[in-house]
């Protein structure tokens, strides 16, 4: 692959593969190298089988003459780990639930038949129950725009994998927004097809009557390519859309479209100021394409969305995995267990009453489609922090889905579309996109409009979290430590429990510290797991030449100088703040440990870092 940007889009790869300047084996090797170099193991569940990926790519190399009939020839992709791949473990985010799939999900089969190469399984909120991306025992995938913020879920790993340029596209699932929410937070396209157009056979159910496969890509054009490969009637899927109801509406010019947008009061009630400002700009940009804009009453749509979490549809999750949870209560996260087993409170008549109410609300929304062709809403109302989720795991999750939860309940399709960045807010500019929503089978129309928007207004904007097009005043962080002349912050090396996604990271974000770099120490350290510490903590010890020293993964955080003293004062023995030598030869203040801590400690140097050791457990 010639450039990181080319590595990230199906269109660019397809062109290079067709011209012969690249071969599937080249693509596979560079993708594997990119994954190995990426410093966030929480993106994936299970190890990446590089040999299997290269074998699959090698088989395609031998079929080069068939490229014209294989629309995704040599294109790597990732799969959310509630979707089966034959011979691989499916966990649905719960290790005790894991089992080896006897057959691939139909959507995976169709992609392989189209010439795509599966790379690995991605992390998710356990049993796809959540929109935050933090409800997982496999670690929280890091938000590359601000590590103190959630990545979005439940398809967190798939969204991050595409945003980081590790794969050109990925599969997720979307019942209440599990594809669109993380796509918006990760600045990528998140396409949720009309229910039933894409088979869900081979997917661990969340709400089986509502579940949809979702597609993550950097461009709407790429999402179209994937959709064309995966859409198809599957008579083995009881929720497949009947043949007579599958006619797709063709795209139209923006000048022929009327967009419906929420009124100002609704936006003010549900959306943070920075995201309201971004949405107003995006609506103006859609007007520039020629679309007309009408204000619509969103109240009945939002009322439908309330049924997703406050109504008996959660009982579908109980039907799917309730028996397992009741038999393995300690193997399921507390918040996930409480949500799913909480569905016991609903009775059969509750379910029918809710369905009657949903039908009434659906009639109330139907008139909107006489006035507009497409709804346009903010994809997310804002992005919560990891600490926000800890403080209010249910409320924060529900707010994230304010404009997403009603879509499947109303048999609609939707495309979360990158729309640039906020002009202010939080620690810096953050992705702020919009979602286009349409009636059943307007999938191509929505994707075409999203593609026209990206072509017109996105040429100078970042794709995902990649360097190209990133706003000039928000430079991408380097993977090495930069010299700073800013005396208001002091760099601090962290090794274990304070790393991004680890249990004490909030102590850094809580004092306004920001991640400056992920790097390694000089090869003169050994790493130990200190005995009897809560939460578990490592000890970093410098050793002499010939004593088996190694380079250890660390993070460097910029800590406000005014807050460093109080932070250091709270560091409890046997840990201490000393000087750590980094791989570039510079010495930086950081966590070390007293020699007495090594009594009973476990030497974990061979793992190369704390995260790898935690993952091995």
H-helix or E-strand spanning residue 575: strand 575-581
Is 173 inside a domain boundary? yes
Q: Which two tokens stand for residue 289?
A: 């394409």
Whether 379 and 184 have beta carbons less than 8 Å apart is answered as yes
Assign residue 565 the CATH number of its domain: 3.10.490.10
Domain range for 574 is 489-616
Is residue 178 part of the annotated active site? The answer reads: yes
408 and 497 assigned to the same domain:
no
From 381, 406, 421, the end of a domain falls on: 421
Is residue 347 part of the annotated active site? The answer reads: no
Choice among 104, 178, 214, 379 that is catalytic? 178
- Prediction pTM value: 0.76
Is 444 inside a domain boundary? no
Q: Provide the number of structural domains found in the chain.
A: 2
Q: Which two tokens stand for residue 144?
A: 């590359």
Is 465 inside a domain boundary? no
d(C-alpha 375, C-alpha 449), whole Å: 12
Whether 134 and 389 have beta carbons less than 8 Å apart is answered as yes
Distance of CA 222 to the CA centre of its chain: 17
d(C-alpha 555, C-alpha 514), whole Å: 10
As a residue count, the chain comes to 617
Q: Which two tokens stand for residue 295?
A: 């204000």
pLDDT value of residue 424: 56
pLDDT value of residue 141: 97
pLDDT one-digit tens code per residue, 118-137: 999 999 999 999 999 999 99
94 and 213 assigned to the same domain:
yes
Query: Residue ranges of the chain with pLDDT lower than 50?
Result: 1-7, 425-427, 468-487
CA diameter of the chain = 77
257 and 387 assigned to the same domain:
yes
Assign residue 85 the CATH number of its domain: 3.90.1300.10
d(C-alpha 31, C-alpha 34), whole Å: 5
Is 58 inside a domain boundary? yes
Rg of the Cα atoms in the chain = 24
From 421, 454, 471, the end of a domain falls on: 421
d(C-alpha 172, C-alpha 129), whole Å: 13
C-alpha pair distances (Å), 322 with each of 114, 208, 308, 393:
36, 14, 18, 21
378 and 257 assigned to the same domain:
yes
pLDDT value of residue 470: 30
d(C-alpha 538, C-alpha 26), whole Å: 39
Residues 6+ apart with CB under 8 A from 449: 251, 254, 257, 289, 291, 374, 436
From 397, 421, 445, the end of a domain falls on: 421
Is 176 inside a domain boundary? yes
Neighbours of 566 (CB within 10 A): 9
C-alpha pair distances (Å), 258 with each of 83, 202, 296, 592:
36, 38, 11, 61
Choice among 8, 104, 148, 154 that is catalytic? 154
Is residue 479 part of the annotated active site? The answer reads: no
pLDDT value of residue 281: 95
Report helix, strand or coil for 125. coil
Is 430 inside a domain boundary? no
pLDDT value of residue 484: 38
Q: Which two tokens stand for residue 15?
A: 């062109």
């Amino acid at each position: 692959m010639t450039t990181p940007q080319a590595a990230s889009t199906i269109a660019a790869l397809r062109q290079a593969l067709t011209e012969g300047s690249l071969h599937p084996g080249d693509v596979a090797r560079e993708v594997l190298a990119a994954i190995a170099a990426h410093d966030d193991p929480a993106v994936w569940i299970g190890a990446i089988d590089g040999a299997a990926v290269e074998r699959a790519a090698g088989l395609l190399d031998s079929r080069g003459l068939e490229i014209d009939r294989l629309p995704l020839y040599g294109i790597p992709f990732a799969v959310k780990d509630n979707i089966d791949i034959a011979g691989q473990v499916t966990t649905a985010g719960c290790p005790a639930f894991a089992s080896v799939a006897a057959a691939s999900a139909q959507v995976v089969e169709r992609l392989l038949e189209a010439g795509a190469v599966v790379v690995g399984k991605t992390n998710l909120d356990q049993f796809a129950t959540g929109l935050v991306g933090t409800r997982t025992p496999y670690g929280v995938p890091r938000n590359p725009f601000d590590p103190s913020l959630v990545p979005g879920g439940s398809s967190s790993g798939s969204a991050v994998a595409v945003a980081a340029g590790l794969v050109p596209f990925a599969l997720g699932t979307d019942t209440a927004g599990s594809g669109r929410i993380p796509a918006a937070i990760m600045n990528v396209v998140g396409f949720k097809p009309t229910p039933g157009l894409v088979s869900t056979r081979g997917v661990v159910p969340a709400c089986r009557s509502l579940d949809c496969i979702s597609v993550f890509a950097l461009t709407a054009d790429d999402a179209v390519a994937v959709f064309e490969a995966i859409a198809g009637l599957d008579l083995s899927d009881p929720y497949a859309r009947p043949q007579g109801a599958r006619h797709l509406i063709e795209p139209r010019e923006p000048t022929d479209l009327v967009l419906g947008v929420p009124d100002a009061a609704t936006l003010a009630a549900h959306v943070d100021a920075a995201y309201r400002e971004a949405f107003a700009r995006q609506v103006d940009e859609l007007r520039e394409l020629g679309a007309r804009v009408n204000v619509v009453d969103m109240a009945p749509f939002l009322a439908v969305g309330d049924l997703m979490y406050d109504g008996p549809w959660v009982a579908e999750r109980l039907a799917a995995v309730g028996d397992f949870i009741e038999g393995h209560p300690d193997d399921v996260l507390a918040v996930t267990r409480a949500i799913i087993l909480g569905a016991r409170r609903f009775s059969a008549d509750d379910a029918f009453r809710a369905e009657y109410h949903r039908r009434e609300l659906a009639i109330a929304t139907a008139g909107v489609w006489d006035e507009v062709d497409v709804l346009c809403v903010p994809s997310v109302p804002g992005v919560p922090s990891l600490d926000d989720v800890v403080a209010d795991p249910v409320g924060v999750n529900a707010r994230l889905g304010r404009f997403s939860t009603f879509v499947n309940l109303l048999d609609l399709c939707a495309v979360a579309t990158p729309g640039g960045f906020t002009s202010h807010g939080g620690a810096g500019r953050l992705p702020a996109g919009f979602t286009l929503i349409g009636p059943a089978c307007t999938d191509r129309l929505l994707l075409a409009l999203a593609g026209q928007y990206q072509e017109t207004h996105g040429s100078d904007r970042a794709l995902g979290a990649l360097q190209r097009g990133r706003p000039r005043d928000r430079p991408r962080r380097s993977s090495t430590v930069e010299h700073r002349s800013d005396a208001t912050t002091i760099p601090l090396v962290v090794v274990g429990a304070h790393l991004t996604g680890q249990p004490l990271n909030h102590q850094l974000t809580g004092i306004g510290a920001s991640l400056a770099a992920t790097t390694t120490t000089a090869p003169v350290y050994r790493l130990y797991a200190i005995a009897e510490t809560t939460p578990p903590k490592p000890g970093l010890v410098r050793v002499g030449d010939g004593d088996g020293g190694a380079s250890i993964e660390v993070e460097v955080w910029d800590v406000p100088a005014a807050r460093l003293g109080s932070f250091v004062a709270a560091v409890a023995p046997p840990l201490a703040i000393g000087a750590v030598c980094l791989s570039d030869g510079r010495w930086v203040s950081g966590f070390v440990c007293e020699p007495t801590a090594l009594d009973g400690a476990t030497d974990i140097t061979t793992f190369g870092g704390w995260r790898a050791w935690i993952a091995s457990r």
